[in-house]
Structure 1
Amino acid sequence: MRTYVARLAAYPVVIATLAVGLVGGALELAGQPTAARWLVSAFAVVVALLQARGMVTDLRSGSYGIDLLAVTAIVSTVVVGEYWAALVVCLMLSGGEALEDYAAGRASRALTGLLENAPRIAHRLDGAGQPTDLPVEDVVIGDRLLVRPFEVVPVDGVLESASATLDESSLTGESLPVDRNRADGLLSGAVNGAEAIEIRATATAADSQYQRIIELVRQARDSKAPFVRLADRVAVPFTLGALGLAVTAWLVSGDPARLAEVLVVATPCPLIIAAPVAFMGGMSRSARAGIIVKSSGTLEQLAQARTAAFDKTGTLTYGRPRVTEIHAQGIDADEVLLLAAAVEQYSGHPLADAVVDRAREDLGDVPPAEDVSETPAHGVRGLVAGRVVVVGRARYVASQAGAADSAGDDLPRPQGVTVVHVAVDGRYVGYLALADELRTEATATMASLHRAGIRTTMMLTGDGQEVARHVAARAGIDDVRAELLPQDKVEAIRTAPQRPVLMVGDGVNDAPVLAAADVGVAMGARGSSAASESADVVITLDDLSRAARAVHIGKRTMRVAWQSIGIGLTLSVGLMVLAAAGQVPALVGAWLQEAVDLATILWALLAVRPSRSERAELAQVTAELALPRETEPVARVAG
């Protein structure tokens, strides 16, 4: 009860309007209509003067609103003696502000929740393990922190406790709790479970994931879409048209009451209120899905996008090379893998890590090697149990092991892979095929984008033509641009014929092209901060399909905004025509206009929820990804 009273107290004009209405009604019942008329009329004039002052301030700042129609409606109804209608208009203005605030609060609930849940205090542990409270901004890298049950993880860190269960829904949109083990990375903003845990800070508050999301949300909440600014300007001709119709009705009928009757049902509220509420609802729903849209104008661009371009490594693929096939010649395929891993474990090359990981995953322990030497970008050699093992490029293996350059040419070569050759004791024994795997959701994402109205999908990558075309064919991408430098990617975006262009990327080298695109989308869960700062949309979890969902949410938001405006204006114009014909008394018209505003706002709030077609689309994408992704077995082929 106190909460409702406090909320009502925030709108003193609403309280005053209701009080004047009660007193005026009492005077009417007491047989003093003249006193009631003077009381209500005087109050209405005061409200009109306050509104006129606000109108002047808004006009000076370049903002247009419902002030002119509201002021003329109040004044005209007072002049013609429809003082109760004037009071209803006053209630419409003051109550409309409260209703708009309520609707905006409902629409932006997810955004507001993110801001309110931002961690402010951290518990730093001293050498004796005693916690000391300090502002989260004072946490430094390396601090040991205590996170109590159901508290928010204050900064990015590494779990020091044996295990933890956390709610990461504010970061990923995933409602189910996740389990973490010792040494696992934790993101700020995750909510701890029922047991206290210890973490070690790996980032300051300013550089932590949740704080970056908070800053993006602040930008989003304060933004204004071009669509909304257009609606503001449409309100001006609507206002002039309403005034013209009101004056015409007065002149034709000869009754000045017609002027008041038309004006009380004329308001561009659907233009001014509905669009911002719909856009706020769309951004809020995006945030719940782990998609932070930096500005409401971006939703408009998402809805209109016709080309979707993607970086390859880390965006369409997982960004982690993996052994996919082993082709052996003369010895067992597992032995080829084990010997290659034995020398590769001393190399720092990413492909070497992939070979070692696969050997340990499939075969267990990897034997040590001796006298290991590496030629950067070419290969590595060493002794394994007295056997000389050489691993690397074909020419390097040939030069180091004495094997012929053409060794292994008779073995089948899969497309779209990187080949690592192996020789043992001067004899070529086969090769390992490594590939950066296509994301499980990539194909479903492309199909979903096409269903959302994207006409062209494009891959922009610095990789070679063969690998790029192989990945694009599997993903279902239309246009492949390979062997590109960062400036080439920017040029490809600028010259794309189908616009607006959506660009999805994750790395530092993606920052320029994300900034050049009409809508830049950064895979920000583990991507670089440079890419996130350059982008218009940041996906806070490692899921490419959220890019397609962002487009669907943008289209839904625009559709709801146009529908709410259309409904509101149709009803308002219909009432104006009826009022001009003398069919709607001023008092009835004032209440009907309040109902129109309410209907418009409630319709705009539909943007908070997905449509039936969106739910069907999500179900279709989910069905395409229904089978859990298992680690694929490595093809072992003997030559």
Structure 2
Amino acid sequence: MTLLRLARRYPILTGGLIATLAVIVLSLAALHEPARWVATIVVVTVIVWTAWGMLKDILRGHFGLDVLALISMIATLVVGEYIASLVIVLMLSGGEALEDYAQRRAARDLTALLDRSPQIAHVLDAEQSDPRDVPVDEVEPGMELLVRPAEIVPVDGVLLSTESSFDESSLTGESVPVSRQAGEEVLSGSVNGSNAVRIRALRRSGDSQYQQIIALVHEAQQSKAPTVRLADRFAIPFTLVSLAIAGVAWAIAGDPLRFAQVLVLATPCPLLIAAPVAFLGGLSRTAKEGVIVKGGAVLEQLARVRSVAFDKTGTLTQGRPELIEVRPAGGMDADELLRLAASAEQYSSHVLAEGVRRAAAERGLALAPAEHAEEVATNGVTAVIERRTVVVGKPAYVAALAPDTVRTPLVSGQLAAYVAVDGRFAGALVLADAVRPEAGDVVAGLREHGVRRIAMLTGDAEATASAIAAPLGVTEVHAELLPAQKVALAADLTPRPMLMVGDGVNDAPVLAAADVGIAMGARGSTAAGEAADAVVLKDSLMPVLRAAEVGRHTLNVAYAAIWIGIVLSVGLMLIATTGVIPAVAGAFIQEFVDLATILYALRALTGPKRRASVAVASPRPVTAP
């Protein structure tokens, strides 16, 4: 059964092997003419098939390396070396089979995500004692679900049970199970521990974390790296050099056989196979490092990055601002100020809003629904709460609606969310964040690897942004920016290629506009992940550096494998000009060149050597915009 499956998967290789065995048997029986006809029919069939594919490529404006293999097969048939022509067929088809194996090996870490995608959810209904199974696509937010021991969580949800542990290694790469308490969010794709638990669905299947990762995997698997096209750009010079060497050998020897003997060693399998194998290995390696990269093209750009821009909150900082002080004004009660602000912030997607809501919940304040709510991205939110118009946001935004707004004094590392109620300034909420402990290492590592310009693009105030950037080694700060201004600055940032790292909805435009956009996906927004070229699955900045290192390593491996194939092929062709390598032997020798390049290209799977980490200052509080 396995042999039949392999035969169907590789029909040209199967046909070539059968034809080769038939030719050997016929030759041993001294039936040379039938043997020649069997070989000729098979080889001519492959020539026609290859020529048709090559013609379609040329009509699309793409000149590939298949022309050399085509000329080699024709040349060996013309001079009567039909066994050598069969070996070339086996070499080409065998190279495809080796490439397919390498692709399967390299893509294993990516496809593992697809293979374990949850399909069924157990829904708990109030009127039924037993759960009912429904397709995961039919789960709606608010549904109560049962997750049995060792099952995959089907959608993002809130844990209703008291406590449980979850294996999130497929999402974050962290091998140690994490403990979740009642009320905490549980991500789809994580594996439940030993206890059955109940969760309340937060999002539909298509909007949940695991399905978003799977969508990224599909994009990564279906892409083609520029270095694959770069290998094709070797086609014209390599073809011309090969034909020139073979032609000179023919002219000197006065024998067309010498042309065929040289050309069988010029078959292009090393160039065609090396680059895609290397880049698939690199994609697999980045997945192990906690980054889903959307294809080899992105990986090559990462290898060449010379400028990097970071968002601040949630990127260089941990993105979990904590309320440290409530400063009411105009006779407003502190708890009432926080309750109204948190009620309005229910309708904001900004990371600062989460800190305000969390503080209200910790104080046991009951939030009220809004009759109407509207958010202005990066500025603030306006909501009608209990017939009162509540505005929460940046001072300029609040002052436009409440002229008596007064800026509150702040120390470095603090930010105030200003609040107005019914057109009058009601006070400020002071919050603080913490720098990611690995941020300094990442900035230093990028500089070590050739990044010449590192900047911060943030909507936060200039003084606060500069206070965060300086200790991390970020020397260029652009503050108080709107999303459109971030895009404009990113477009002008040189040298190129330029990498942007961000996490929020407001970062989606600049992530899409950058040469390479990386989204912090562990807690970042879906919009940022969709706009980005790569998504970090861990709640850490270090995978950004790892991805750049893997990209550089992969590109070096791809180039080296290509040049190994070129040097070996040209060297063997020069030797063949003397006539010491028969056509059949040359065709077999070329197989070892193929094997050498493939094995070298698979080095991309191992990734670069780990660099020693430098010391990082302990985290300190900083501002969240």
Residue-by-residue CA offset, 1:364-412 (whole Å, 9 max, x unaligned): 999xxxxxx999669xxxxxxxxxxxxxxxx9999xxxxxx9xxx9xxx
- Which of 563, 573, 589 pairs up with 1:592? 589
Q: Is the 8 A contact 1:464 1:483 kept in 2?
A: yes
Q: Is the 8 A contact 1:344 1:356 kept in 2?
A: no
Q: Determine the structure 1 residue equivalent to 2:182.
A: 182
Question: Is residue 466 of structure 1 aligned with residue 463 of structure 2?
Answer: yes
Q: 1:137 to 1:352 in 2, by over 3 A?
A: closer
Q: Is the 8 A contact 1:152 1:191 kept in 2?
A: yes
- Partners in 2 of 1:304 and 1:348 — Cα distance? 45
Residue-by-residue CA offset, 1:592-621 (whole Å, 9 max, x unaligned): 111111111121111111122xx2x2x526
Deviation at 1:215, TM superposition (A): 1.6
- Which of 332, 341, 349 pairs up with 1:348? 341
Normalized against structure 1, the TM-score is what?
0.80
Q: 1:231 to 1:288 in 2, by over 3 A?
A: same
Deviation at 1:197, TM superposition (A): 3.1
Deviation at 1:194, TM superposition (A): 4.0
Q: Is the 8 A contact 1:73 1:260 kept in 2?
A: yes
Q: Determine the structure 2 residue equivalent to 1:573.
A: 570
- Partners in 2 of 1:224 and 1:108 — Cα distance? 14
Q: 1:353 to 1:291 in 2, by over 3 A?
A: closer
If you compute each CA radius of gyration, which structure gives the higher value, 1 or 2? 1
| Amino acid in the other structure paired with 2:600 | W
- Which of 470, 477, 480 pairs up with 2:477? 480
Q: Is the 8 A contact 1:239 1:267 kept in 2?
A: no
Q: Determine the structure 2 residue equivalent to 1:118.
A: 117
Q: Is the 8 A contact 1:286 1:550 kept in 2?
A: yes
Residue-by-residue CA offset, 1:430-462 (whole Å, 9 max, x unaligned): x99753221122111111111221112111122
- Which of 603, 613, 617 pairs up with 1:620? 613
Residue-by-residue CA offset, 1:139-161 (whole Å, 9 max, x unaligned): 21122223334332221112233
| Amino acid in the other structure paired with 1:228 | V
* Structure 2 unaligned blocks of 5 or more: 327-332, 346-351, 366-387, 394-403, 419-427
Percent identity between the two aligned chains: 51
Q: Determine the structure 2 residue equivalent to 1:133.
A: 133
Q: Is the 8 A contact 2:148 2:197 kept in 1?
A: yes
- Partners in 2 of 1:503 and 1:542 — Cα distance? 17
Q: Determine the structure 1 residue equivalent to 2:108.
A: 109
Q: Is the 8 A contact 1:108 1:283 kept in 2?
A: yes
Deviation at 1:343, TM superposition (A): 6.8
- Partners in 1 of 2:235 and 2:413 — Cα distance? 57
Deviation at 1:550, TM superposition (A): 1.5
| Amino acid in the other structure paired with 1:124 | V
Q: Is the 8 A contact 1:170 1:288 kept in 2?
A: no
Question: Is residue 225 of structure 1 aligned with residue 225 of structure 2?
Answer: yes
Question: Is residue 82 of structure 1 aligned with residue 81 of structure 2?
Answer: yes
Q: Determine the structure 2 residue equivalent to 1:583.
A: 580
Q: Determine the structure 1 residue equivalent to 2:441.
A: 444
27-36 or 68-77, which deviates more: 27-36
Residue-by-residue CA offset, 1:241-275 (whole Å, 9 max, x unaligned): 32232222112211111111111111222332211
Q: 1:603 to 1:158 in 2, by over 3 A?
A: same
| Amino acid in the other structure paired with 2:139 | V
Q: Determine the structure 2 residue equivalent to 1:148.
A: 148
| Amino acid in the other structure paired with 1:313 | T
- Which of 542, 558, 562 pairs up with 1:561? 558
Deviation at 1:353, TM superposition (A): 9.1
Q: 1:261 to 1:417 in 2, by over 3 A?
A: same
- Partners in 2 of 1:374 and 1:50 — Cα distance? 72
Normalized against structure 2, the TM-score is what?
0.82
Q: Is the 8 A contact 2:69 2:268 kept in 1?
A: no
- Partners in 1 of 2:430 and 2:55 — Cα distance? 72
Q: Determine the structure 1 residue equivalent to 2:24.
A: 25
Residue-by-residue CA offset, 1:307-362 (whole Å, 9 max, x unaligned): 11111122111233346799xxxxxxxxxxxxx9767654536889979989999x
Residue-by-residue CA offset, 1:514-535 (whole Å, 9 max, x unaligned): 2221111111222222222221
- Partners in 1 of 2:465 and 2:85 — Cα distance? 69
115-124 or 508-517, which deviates more: 115-124
Q: Is the 8 A contact 2:16 2:86 kept in 1?
A: yes
- Partners in 2 of 1:203 and 1:114 — Cα distance? 20
Residue-by-residue CA offset, 1:192-244 (whole Å, 9 max, x unaligned): 33443332211111111111222222122222223322322321332233223
Q: Determine the structure 2 residue equivalent to 1:333.
A: none
Residue-by-residue CA offset, 1:263-288 (whole Å, 9 max, x unaligned): 11112223322112211221222122
Q: 1:397 to 1:252 in 2, by over 3 A?
A: closer
344-353 or 539-548, which deviates more: 344-353
Q: Determine the structure 2 residue equivalent to 1:329.
A: none
| Amino acid in the other structure paired with 1:252 | I
| Amino acid in the other structure paired with 1:295 | G
Q: 1:5 to 1:150 in 2, by over 3 A?
A: farther
Q: 1:268 to 1:420 in 2, by over 3 A?
A: closer
Q: Is the 8 A contact 1:341 1:355 kept in 2?
A: no
SS at structure 1 position matched to 2:242: helix
- Partners in 1 of 2:161 and 2:188 — Cα distance? 16
252-261 or 480-489, which deviates more: 480-489
Q: 1:194 to 1:236 in 2, by over 3 A?
A: farther
- Partners in 2 of 1:219 and 1:262 — Cα distance? 41
Question: Is residue 281 of structure 1 aligned with residue 269 of structure 2?
Answer: no
- Partners in 1 of 2:50 and 2:406 — Cα distance? 84
Deviation at 1:513, TM superposition (A): 1.6
- Partners in 2 of 1:503 and 1:320 — Cα distance? 21
Q: 1:353 to 1:260 in 2, by over 3 A?
A: closer
Q: 1:353 to 1:24 in 2, by over 3 A?
A: closer
Deviation at 1:562, TM superposition (A): 0.6
Q: Determine the structure 2 residue equivalent to 1:10.
A: 9
Q: 1:433 to 1:58 in 2, by over 3 A?
A: closer
Q: Determine the structure 1 residue equivalent to 2:370.
A: none
Q: 1:365 to 1:490 in 2, by over 3 A?
A: closer
Matches within 5 A, 1:164-243: 164-243=164-243
- Partners in 2 of 1:169 and 1:442 — Cα distance? 22
Q: Is the 8 A contact 1:310 1:504 kept in 2?
A: yes
Q: Determine the structure 2 residue equivalent to 1:385.
A: none
| Amino acid in the other structure paired with 1:620 | S
Q: Is the 8 A contact 2:65 2:232 kept in 1?
A: no
Q: 1:229 to 1:545 in 2, by over 3 A?
A: same
Q: Determine the structure 2 residue equivalent to 1:606.
A: 603
Matches within 5 A, 1:449-528: 449-528=446-525
Deviation at 1:95, TM superposition (A): 1.1
| Amino acid in the other structure paired with 1:608 | L
Give the aligned length: 569
Q: Is the 8 A contact 2:316 2:436 kept in 1?
A: yes
SS at structure 2 position matched to 1:319: coil
Q: 1:325 to 1:414 in 2, by over 3 A?
A: farther
| Amino acid in the other structure paired with 1:560 | V
Q: Determine the structure 2 residue equivalent to 1:335.
A: none
